[in-house]
Amino acid sequence: MTAQGDFNQAVQAAQAARLSDVDVSVMLAELGEALGIDLALTDDGRCTVFDTNGREIALLFQAGFPGVTLTAPVIEEETIPREMLITLLRTNAEWQATAGGTFSMPEPSGTVLFSRHVMIFERDTLALVNAINAFGAQVEAWESDIYFHLDAVDPAELSEDSPAPQIPFQITHA
């Protein structure tokens, strides 16, 4: 078989292995039972959980798409240096550093989100729990690095009249 044929077979297998609404409901019920809370999806496929460190993580299950998209805030500041935002945007192209995650700022609110899609092909609550906790640890590492560099910025450098501060920020996390 050709490489294209192998690829097509892999795509077809992934498409056939999607989580059903029942699978998602069962996993959330099992997770909720273990946590002692009721977990259910909203009409648009969302649910919010907390990782072992108490970090709020939004889950998004999209109908017909295998897995879950995890999202959590990494920065919640009124003023974020322009250079930091540019660096985070550039980091989106460094999938090895972000493990396939992306940074976004859905609105100019001072909140930067980190999101990553995790493939889960079958009803596997343990895989979901592990994905949530691994993502939480990844967010914590990014937060720590980002806030370390934000703390190094002099607030006087953030005025609209001054040029963007240069932040010695490097991509280091996976």
pLDDT value of residue 167: 36
Percent of the chain past pLDDT 90, that is, above it, reads 11
Q: What are 117's strand-pairing partners?
A: 69
64: left (phi over 0), alpha (psi -120 to 50) or beta: left
CA-to-CA dists, residue 65 to 20, 97, 118, 122, angstroms: 9, 24, 11, 12
First-last CA distance in the chain: 34
So what's the pLDDT on residue 144? Answer: 84
- Say what the pLDDT of residue 69 is: 92
Q: If we measure between CA atoms, which residue out of 6, 118, 27, 8 comes closest to residue 66?
A: 118
**In sequence order, what are the beta bridge partners of 112?**
75
* Three-class SS state of 97: helix
Walk along the chain (174 residues) and give the pLDDT tens digit of each residue.
566 667 777 666 665 666 777 888 888 889 888 888 888 888 888 999 887 778 889 999 887 777 899 999 988 877 777 788 888 888 888 878 888 899 988 877 778 899 999 988 888 888 888 889 889 989 998 888 887 766 655 545 544 444 443 334 444 444
Q: What is the pLDDT of residue 13?
A: 65
The pLDDT value recorded for residue 168 is 40
DSSP string, 10-74: HHHHHHHTPPPHHHHHHHHHHHHHHHTS-----TTSEEEEE-TT--EEEEE--TTSSSEEEEEEE
Question: Taking the complete model, does pTM exceed 0.85, yes or no?
Answer: no
Q: How many helices (H) and strands (E) does the chain have?
A: 5, 5
